[in-house]
Amino acid sequence: MNLLPLFQWCEESGLGRMVRESVWAFAVIESVHLLALATMGGAVLLVDLRMLNLGLRQRPVAELAQEARPFQNAALVVLVLSGLGLFSSEAVKCYYSFPFSVKITTLVVATLFTYTIRRRIVFSPDSSDTSRMAVALISVTLWFIVAAAGRWIGFSG
């Protein structure tokens, strides 16, 4: 299935044109996007490090995850919305961008993993230390790839 017409439509949309033609819009949206990524990464990393027994050992994993969840959820919403603004301004470039494909694919996998498997392990009182550590390592790896691929987009053609 050829998605190029959809990407072209996105780029020519009112949002795409507004972001592309504005002097400051892309920079402001990107700043918000990066702040949301830092918030999401912080919320996820805090719990993952706890699951790896690398910090906050006095706090139960589930309790920490429950407290981090509102930040994680809000950051994900802001990430997606700001990402749509960034994407729409250069959608055709993204269509041909391998780093963009890596980021979006990994973002979907990381989000599904975080809200399904990781969540189940975090909130299960019967989770073993081994399963928590494995899930935490996978989570850190996935979110690192999302962030690194996002930077890679900025440095590729």
pLDDT, mean over the chain: 92
Q: Does pTM surpass 0.95? A: no
Q: What is the DSSP letter of 118?
A: I
Nearest 10 degrees: Cα torsion 127, 130, 131, 135: 130
Report percent pLDDT > 90 for the chain.
Answer: 82
pLDDT exceeds cutoff 90 at 29: yes
pLDDT exceeds cutoff 90 at 55: no
For residue 95, give both structure tokens.
Answer: 């269509």
Which pLDDT score, from 0 to 100, does residue 123 have? 94
pLDDT exceeds cutoff 90 at 61: yes
How would residue 53 be classed by pLDDT, with cut points 50, 70 and 90?
very high
CA–CA gap between residue 147 and residue 132 (Å, rounded): 22
Which residues, 6+ apart, have CB-to-CB distance to 149 below 8 Å?
99, 100, 102, 103, 106
- The full set of domain ranges for the chain reads 4-155
CA–CA gap between residue 54 and residue 48 (Å, rounded): 9
